[in-house]
């Protein structure tokens, strides 16, 4: 018999109670049990960063964490970023304006990594942004648009005017 | 209708808002009622005979619905898969079975498939399948494979040579006899992979009532898979529908028909329930096709002015265990070598070697990066031996714009002569060098050396066949809600087709791209399709959209003219309406001009007709048209890349200081999108040049099977890439466009490798391989006398 446990988690402000197998990874829980498929699985060994979510505000590789370990915690995923169904948040908008995505598969993880980072460090330099992004692999963009978008979002968060599509 | 407005503008992508919210629908996001999940049992041996398979324990495991081996496949599925492009030069046309029959040829080959109510349980049961393997000798290296005493990759093979052929132009023997100098180089390129972030995946859904199979699959070529399934199942065309959802990158290896897709379809049909298989990353390292292992022995003959008289040599291409793409890759490689240079005589003997590794099929660039690396290394060799400026040697040998169209003299794989249509190669090189500060580079390099730092600059020129035929069709339809629908058979994996094709269509109707919805990759929407590869969709699909939209716009005007009782010449499509453009005498005579016009919605409804009434004279039902633009030959893009690096001679680390691209892909539909494609391609090239290598043991066991062992370029490895456009419209298609998806990778590897060699000139080191890793750089410096050897150059 599979080893089952009951867990309670809050995801993007909504509470869920589920009985899960103890071996179930957090990303599979989000994707298959809660049907929040915005978080993607890219490598299942913690390198590519596509599955990055925030657990109590801290970025986590949800492929390396078990669902039971999230019991009692508050999670943020890509689905929780936009303020409503019709608009995007400033970081998402910056990605749109700076061609920060092509296939879009790595994007949710990249957005969550940057969300955590920019909350604490809206004054980041390009070098710092590139360092933080080195934990997320993108095969399409060469990171150019991602870096430009992050810098634009940072400027907006600091209250400065946006400068879309410019290289810093 | 002239193109304007949306065409040529860096409009924001239609794809993005959905993807940015995490609301995309990739294949693993598809969940069907009653769906089961599959896991594959794969060979742990590079080569072995299968003496028996015991699936009893697996079948009895909890939650298991089926375990299929070769013996369990339906009759039509027990033959090897069909080769995509047969060729008379192929002596041993080995192709894989859907599940291994009695021999496995590489580690990772599919042996059995387990279907269970979850992936977790399917993997549990897969571990219980007992396969009696008898290991056989194996060979991994393509040069060792063609030695006379090499172990046979296939037990029933006659040798490890799958094919041999020669590509030639002019009289190379005479050219080499009359040469002032002959220089030689042996180059080797290693395997990398596509490493799209979304692994492969498929959901097969069998409908017992309709007797139809719907396949949701992360493929670049839905119609190719549909045709394969129709053939295997003996079905009529509407019994198989292949739909590509959002796809997380393709880069080539999502194009082939893979065994897993067929096996999953077989399981779904047998069980009468939907079955999903999602490749995990470990599988991706051992089961998705790879590319670029090649070994070249080359020589170049030049005259006293360093002008090329001839290039000749031998290319050994590593096919892997099977040759699904026939001889396509080595042929493209060999045909790419002459590039933008006048090469009066040329001869390449091609040997296609079988090895016990995954099959090679195109990965971004498809054989071209190798050809470019060979020619650019030869150019640098000539410059170095003659003490000439490498840019000058290239310029002296370049095809001039007034020589266009230029016949290279060799035959492409379609049997037609390779003919470049347009381009200004010297201008691109001049501009790239100017932007990159080539003029003062020697001074900067000398200054750095005085400080014990080693800067290098590499130049690479490439010419790329794009927009491969035969066609990619498109249907354009004005819906009865007034919106424009575009259907394309090929699927999309990040190239922004839903935006760029909408830009092309929107201008014909005078609407915003928001009013154009592009659907890609669904065999249910258009009868014929080829797929996305070879930088072809802008050329083939783009021109098809242009033709079909033009036709529909014409129908709209004709019908509106009848409805309004005005001449067509008075009408213009604007903002989703047909309106009176200027007031002709006839229109003026009618008076009451204000508000005169018809919406696309009204015209679309009218175009359907009414029961019992004849259609308006000269019209056909519906505002729609399907066009198949069929290019007679490829449109040739080109570009110059200039890379500047600094090499740490103690650690071998290479830092990219600057990277400049001047690229010509004809008319640019969306500059932002084209730049994105080029920059992404350059990043891929940087990976291929410096980091990425799939390492195998001598007997074919893969040693790099995760992202810790196989290094992809990261955000702090890739510099800002400066992209500049040089627009030479091609005369070969109505839009004047050429492909842009692969150029960054094709030229990039040679630029980076050239820059590293240039930095290490003081040590006399030659770089004849890619990738060039820190370990290799340190080893090469040591072999050349060690860092101490720099002493003589210090001041």
| Domain boundaries defined on chain A | 4-80, 90-157
Backbone angle region of B756, left / alpha / beta, with phi > 0 → left and psi within -120 to 50 → alpha: alpha
CA of A80 vs chain B CAs: smallest distance (Å): 8
pLDDT tens track for B390-399: 999 999 999 9
pLDDT in the model for residue B586: 56
Contacts of B350 (CB under 8 A, 6+ apart): B163, B164, B165, B166, B167, B314, B315, B317, B327, B330, B331, B334
Confidence category of residue A163, pLDDT binned at 50, 70, 90: low
| Rounded mean pLDDT, A94-112 | 98
Q: How far apart are CA B319 and CA B241, in angstroms?
A: 31
pLDDT in the model for residue B789: 59
User: Looking at chain B, which residue has its C-alpha nearest residue A86?
Assistant: B17
- The answer to whether residue B16 neighbours chain A at the CB level (below 8 Å) is yes
Q: Which of residues 660-719 of B touch A (CB under 8 A)?
A: 672-673, 675-676, 679-684, 706-708, 712-718
- The answer to whether residue B614 neighbours chain A at the CB level (below 8 Å) is no
Asked if the Cβ–Cβ distance from B712 to A137 is below 8 Å, we say yes
| Rounded mean pLDDT, B364-382 | 97
Residue B653, both tokens: 């680390």
Q: In this structure, are residues B379 and B393 in contact, taking their beta carbons and an 8 Å threshold?
A: yes
Higher pLDDT, B535 or B347: B347
pLDDT in the model for residue B310: 98
Confidence category of residue A168, pLDDT binned at 50, 70, 90: very low
DSSP 8-state symbol, B117: S
Confidence category of residue A67, pLDDT binned at 50, 70, 90: very high
Assign B444 to helix, strand or coil.
helix
Helix (H) or strand (E) holding B285: helix B281-287
CA of A139 vs chain B CAs: smallest distance (Å): 6
Contacts of B422 (CB under 8 A, 6+ apart): B404, B405, B635, B636, B666, B728, B729, B730, B731
Confidence category of residue A161, pLDDT binned at 50, 70, 90: low
CA of B157 vs chain A CAs: smallest distance (Å): 36
ipTM of the complex as predicted = 0.96
Asked if the Cβ–Cβ distance from B715 to A134 is below 8 Å, we say yes
Q: Say if A4-80 and A90-157 have the same CATH topology.
A: no
| Rounded mean pLDDT, B189-214 | 97
Assign B769 to helix, strand or coil.
strand
Contacts of B316 (CB under 8 A, 6+ apart): B142, B143, B146, B294, B295, B296, B351, B353
Model-level pTM?
0.96
Residues of A in contact with B196 (CB under 8 A): 103, 105, 139
Q: Please give the sequence-ordered ranges of beta strands (E in DSSP) within chain A, or none if there are none.
A: 4-11, 14-21, 52-55, 58-61, 74-76
DSSP 8-state symbol, B161: E
Q: How far apart are CA B687 and CA B693, in angstroms?
A: 9
Contacts of B296 (CB under 8 A, 6+ apart): B185, B186, B187, B188, B313, B314, B315, B316, B370, B374
Q: How far apart are CA B635 and CA B259, in angstroms?
A: 33
Confidence category of residue B792, pLDDT binned at 50, 70, 90: very low
pLDDT in the model for residue B4: 47
Q: How far apart are CA B249 and CA B199, in angstroms?
A: 9
CA distances to B34, B233, B379, B467, B578 from B581, in Å: 57, 55, 58, 36, 9
pLDDT tens track for B107-149: 999 999 999 999 999 999 999 999 999 999 999 999 999 999 9
Average pLDDT along chain A: 95
Asked if the Cβ–Cβ distance from B680 to A139 is below 8 Å, we say yes
What is the number of H-type helices and E-type strands within chain B?
20, 29
Q: Which of residues 167-196 of B touch A (CB under 8 A)?
A: 194-196
| Rounded mean pLDDT, A137-163 | 91
Say what the alpha-carbon torsion angle B7, B12, B15, B17 is, to the nearest 10 degrees: -160
Q: How far apart are CA A130 and CA A143, in angstroms?
A: 8
CA of B53 vs chain A CAs: smallest distance (Å): 27
Q: In this structure, are residues B404 and B446 in contact, taking their beta carbons and an 8 Å threshold?
A: no
| Length of chain A counted residue by residue | 168
CA distances to A119, B522, B561, B586 from B569, in Å: 59, 37, 9, 11
pLDDT tens track for B670-728: 999 999 999 999 999 999 999 999 999 999 999 999 999 999 999 999 999 999 999 99
CATH, domain range B415-466+635-795: 3.30.365.10
Residue B375, both tokens: 């020619």
Residue A76: pLDDT over 80: yes
Asked if the Cβ–Cβ distance from A105 to B196 is below 8 Å, we say yes
Residues of A in contact with B249 (CB under 8 A): 102-103, 105, 139-140
pLDDT in the model for residue B793: 45
> Of the candidates A43, A79, A96, which has its C-beta nearest B281's C-beta?
A43
CA of B268 vs chain A CAs: smallest distance (Å): 20
Closest CA to A168 of A105, A125, A115, A116: A125
Range(s) of chain B covered by CATH 3.30.365.10: 415-466+635-795, 469-629
DSSP states of B39-64: EEEE-SSSSEEEEEEE-HHHHTSTTE
User: Which range, of B236-240, B504-508, B619-623, B750-754, averages the lowest pLDDT?
Assistant: B619-623
pLDDT tens track for B232-286: 999 999 999 999 999 999 999 999 999 999 999 999 999 999 999 999 999 999 9
pLDDT tens track for B447-465: 999 999 999 999 999 999 9
CA of A24 vs chain B CAs: smallest distance (Å): 9
Confidence category of residue B617, pLDDT binned at 50, 70, 90: confident
| Rounded mean pLDDT, B767-794 | 83
Assign A58 to helix, strand or coil.
strand
> Of the candidates B22, B496, B716, which has its C-beta nearest A78's C-beta?
B22
SS3 track for B380-442: HHHHHHHCCCHHHHHHHHECCHHHCCEEEEEECCCCCEEEECCCCHHHHHHHHHHHCCCCCHH
Assign B628 to helix, strand or coil.
strand
- The answer to whether residue B123 neighbours chain A at the CB level (below 8 Å) is no
Compute chain B's Rg from CA coordinates.
Answer: 28
Contacts of B406 (CB under 8 A, 6+ apart): B399, B419, B420
Residue B672, both tokens: 């932002």
pLDDT in the model for residue B120: 97
The residues facing B163 across adjacent strands are B90, B352
Helix runs in B165-217, H state only: 172-177
Higher pLDDT, B174 or B575: B174
Domain A90-157: CATH superfamily, name plus number: [2Fe-2S]-binding domain (1.10.150.120)
Residues of A in contact with B744 (CB under 8 A): 142
**What is the CATH architecture of A4-80?**
Roll (3.10)
pLDDT tens track for B61-89: 999 999 999 999 998 999 999 988 888 99
Q: In this structure, are residues B247 and A140 in contact, taking their beta carbons and an 8 Å threshold?
A: no
Residue B229, both tokens: 């399934």
Average pLDDT along chain B: 94
User: Looking at chain A, which residue has its C-alpha nearest residue B495?
Assistant: A102
- The answer to whether residue B435 neighbours chain A at the CB level (below 8 Å) is no
Residue A20, both tokens: 């899960």
Assign B555 to helix, strand or coil.
helix
Pairing verdict, β B294-302 and B181-189: antiparallel
Assign A147 to helix, strand or coil.
helix
Q: How far apart are CA B31 and CA B43, in angstroms?
A: 29
User: Looking at chain A, which residue has its C-alpha nearest residue B196?
Assistant: A139
User: Looking at chain A, which residue has its C-alpha nearest residue B18?
Assistant: A104
**What is the CATH architecture of B469-629?**
2-Layer Sandwich (3.30)
Backbone angle region of B633, left / alpha / beta, with phi > 0 → left and psi within -120 to 50 → alpha: beta
| Rounded mean pLDDT, B428-447 | 98
Beta carbon pairs, A and B, within 8 Å: 179
DSSP 8-state symbol, A64: S
Helix (H) or strand (E) holding B268: helix B259-271
Confidence category of residue B415, pLDDT binned at 50, 70, 90: confident
Q: Which of residues 483-512 of B touch A (CB under 8 A)?
A: 493-496
- In a mutagenesis test of the A interface, which of B14, B16, B20 is the best target, namely the one with the most A β-carbons within 10 Å? B20
- In a mutagenesis test of the A interface, which of B22, B673, B720 is the best target, namely the one with the most A β-carbons within 10 Å? B22
CA of B373 vs chain A CAs: smallest distance (Å): 21
Q: How far apart are CA A79 and CA B22, in angstroms?
A: 6
pLDDT in the model for residue B411: 85
Q: In this structure, are residues B721 and B521 in contact, taking their beta carbons and an 8 Å threshold?
A: no
Look-up of token digits 């004279």: B617
Determine the Cα angle at B549 with ends B544 and B554, to 5°: 130
Please confirm whether the linkage preceding B775 is cis (ω < 30° from 0). Answer: no
CA of B19 vs chain A CAs: smallest distance (Å): 6
User: Looking at chain B, which residue has its C-alpha nearest residue A102?
Assistant: B494
Phi, psi of B309 (to 5 degrees): -100, -35
| Rounded mean pLDDT, B621-631 | 95
Q: How far apart are CA B719 and CA A126, in angstroms?
A: 11
Q: How far apart are CA B622 and CA B561, in angstroms?
A: 16
| Rounded mean pLDDT, B383-406 | 97
> Of the candidates B12, B676, B717, which has its C-beta nearest A141's C-beta?
B676
Look-up of token digits 């309670």: A8
pLDDT tens track for B282-330: 999 999 999 999 999 999 999 999 999 999 999 999 999 999 998 999 9
Q: How far apart are CA B447 and CA A141, in angstroms?
A: 34
Residue B387, both tokens: 């003490």
Q: How far apart are CA B390 and CA B394, in angstroms?
A: 6
| Rounded mean pLDDT, B497-521 | 96
């Amino acid at each position: 018999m599979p080893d089952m446990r009951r867990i309670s988690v809050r995801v993007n402000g909504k509470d869920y109670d589920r009985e899960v197998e103890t071996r179930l990874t957090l990303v599979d829980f989000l994707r298959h049990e809660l049907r929040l498929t915005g978080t993607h699985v890219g490598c299942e060994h913690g390198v590519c960063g596509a599955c990055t979510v925030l657990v109590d505000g801290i970025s986590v590789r949800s492929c390396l964490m078990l669902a039971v370990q999230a019991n009692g915690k508050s999670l943020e995923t890509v689905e929780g970023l936009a303020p409503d169904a019709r608009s995007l948040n400033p970081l998402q908008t910056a990605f749109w304006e700076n061609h920060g995505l092509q296939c879009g598969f790595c994007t949710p993880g990249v957005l969550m990594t940057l969300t955590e980072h920019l909350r604490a460090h809206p004054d980041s330099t390009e070098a710092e942004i590139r360092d933080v992004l080195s934990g997320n692999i993108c095969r399409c963009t060469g990171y150019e648009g991602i870096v430009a978008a992050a810098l634009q979002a940072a400027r907006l968060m600091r209250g400065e005017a946006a400068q879309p599509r410019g290289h810093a | 209708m002239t193109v304007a407005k949306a065409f040529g503008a860096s409009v924001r992508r239609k794809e993005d808002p959905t993807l940015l919210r995490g609301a995309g629908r990739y294949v693993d996001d598809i969940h069907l009622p009653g769906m089961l999940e599959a896991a594959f049992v794969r060979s742990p041996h590079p080569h072995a005979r299968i003496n028996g398979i015991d699936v009893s324990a697996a079948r009895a495991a909890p939650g298991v619905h089926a375990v299929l081996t070769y013996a369990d496949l339906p009759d039509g599925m027990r033959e090897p898969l069909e080769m995509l492009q047969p060729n008379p030069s192929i002596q041993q046309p080995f192709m894989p079975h859907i599940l291994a029959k009695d021999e496995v040829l590489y580690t990772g080959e599919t042996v059995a498939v387990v279907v269970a109510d979850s992936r977790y349980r399917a993997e549990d049961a897969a571990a219980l399948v007992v396969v009696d393997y008898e290991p056989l000798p194996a060979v991994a290296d393509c040069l060792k494979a063609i030695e006379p005493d090499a172990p046979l990759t296939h037990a029933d093979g006659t040798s490890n040579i799958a094919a041999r052929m020669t590509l030639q132009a002019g009289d190379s023997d005479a050219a080499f006899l009359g040469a002032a100098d002959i220089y030689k180089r042996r180059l080797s390129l290693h395997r990398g992979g596509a490493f799209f972030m979304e692994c492969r995946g498929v959901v097969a859904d069998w409908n017992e009532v309709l007797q139809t199979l719907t396949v949701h699959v992360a493929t670049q070529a839905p119609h190719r898979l549909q045709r394969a399934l129709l053939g295997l199942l003996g079905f009529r065309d509407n019994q198989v529908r292949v739909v590509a959802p959002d796809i997380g990158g393709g880069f080539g290896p999502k194009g082939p028909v893979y065994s897993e897709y067929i096996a999953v379809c077989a399981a779904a049909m047998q069980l009468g329930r939907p079955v999903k298989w999602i490749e995990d990353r470990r599988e991706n390292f051992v089961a998705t096709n790879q590319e670029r292992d090649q070994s070249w022995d080359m020589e170049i003959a030049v005259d006293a002015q360093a002008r090329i008289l001839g290039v000749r040599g031998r290319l050994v291409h590593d096919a892997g265990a099977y040759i699904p793409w026939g001889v396509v890759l080595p042929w493209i490689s060999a045909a790419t070598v002459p590039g933008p240079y006048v090469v009066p005589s040329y001869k390449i003997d091609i040997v296609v070697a079988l090895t016990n590794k995954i099959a090679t099929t195109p990965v971004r660039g498809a054989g071209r990066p190798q050809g470019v690396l060979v020619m650019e290394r030869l150019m640098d060799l000539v410059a170095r031996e003659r003490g000439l400026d490498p840019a000058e040697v290239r310029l002296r040998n370049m095809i001039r714009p007034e020589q266009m169209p230029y016949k290279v003299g060799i035959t492409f794989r379609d049997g037609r002569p390779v003919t470049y249509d347009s381009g200004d190669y010297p201008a691109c090189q001049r501009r790239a060098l100017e932007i990159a500060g080539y003029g003062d580079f020697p001074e900067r390099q000398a200054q750095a050396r005085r400080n014990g730092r080693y800067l290098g600059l590499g130049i690479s020129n490439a010419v790329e066949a794009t927009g491969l035929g035969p066609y990619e069709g498109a249907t354009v339809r004005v819906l009865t809600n007034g919106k424009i629908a575009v259907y394309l058979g090929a699927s999309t994996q990040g190239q922004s087709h839903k935006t760029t094709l909408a830009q092309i269509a929107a201008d014909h109707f005078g609407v915003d791209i928001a009013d154009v919805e592009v659907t890609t990759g669904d065999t249910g929407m258009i009868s014929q399709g080829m797929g996305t590869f070879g930088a072809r969709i802008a050329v083939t699909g783009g021109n098809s959209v242009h033709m079909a939209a033009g036709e529909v716009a014409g129908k709209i005007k004709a019908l509106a003219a009848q409805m309004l009782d005005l001449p067509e010449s008075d009408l213009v499509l604007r903002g989703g309406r047909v309106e009176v453009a200027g007031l002709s005498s006839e229109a003026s005579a009618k008076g009451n001009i204000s508000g005169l016009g018809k919406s696309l919605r009204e015209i679309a409804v009218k175009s359907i007709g009414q029961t019992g009434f004849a259609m308006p004279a000269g019209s056909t039902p519906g505002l729609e048209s399907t066009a198949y633009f069929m290019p007679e030959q490829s449109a040739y893009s080109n570009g110059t890349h200039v890379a500047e690096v600094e090499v740490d001679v103690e650690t071998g680390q290479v830092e990219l200081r600057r990277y400049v691209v001047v690229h010509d892909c004809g008319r640019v539909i969306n500059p932002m999108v084209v730049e994105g494609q080029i920059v992404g391609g350059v990043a891929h090239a940087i990976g291929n040049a410096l980091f990425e290598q799939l390492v195998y043991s001598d007997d074919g066991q893969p040693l790099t099977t995760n992202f810790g062992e196989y290094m992809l370029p990261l955000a702090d490895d890739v510099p800002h890439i400066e992209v500049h456009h040089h627009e030479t419209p091609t005369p070969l298609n109505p839009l004047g466009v050429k492909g842009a998806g692969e150029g960054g990778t094709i030229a990039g590897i040679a630029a980076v490798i050239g820059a590293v060699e240039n930095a290490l000139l003081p040590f006399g080191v030659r770089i004849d391989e890619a990738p060039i890793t820190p370990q290799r750089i340190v080893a090469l410096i040591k072999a050349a006398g060690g860092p101490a050897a720099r002493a003589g150059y210090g001041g």
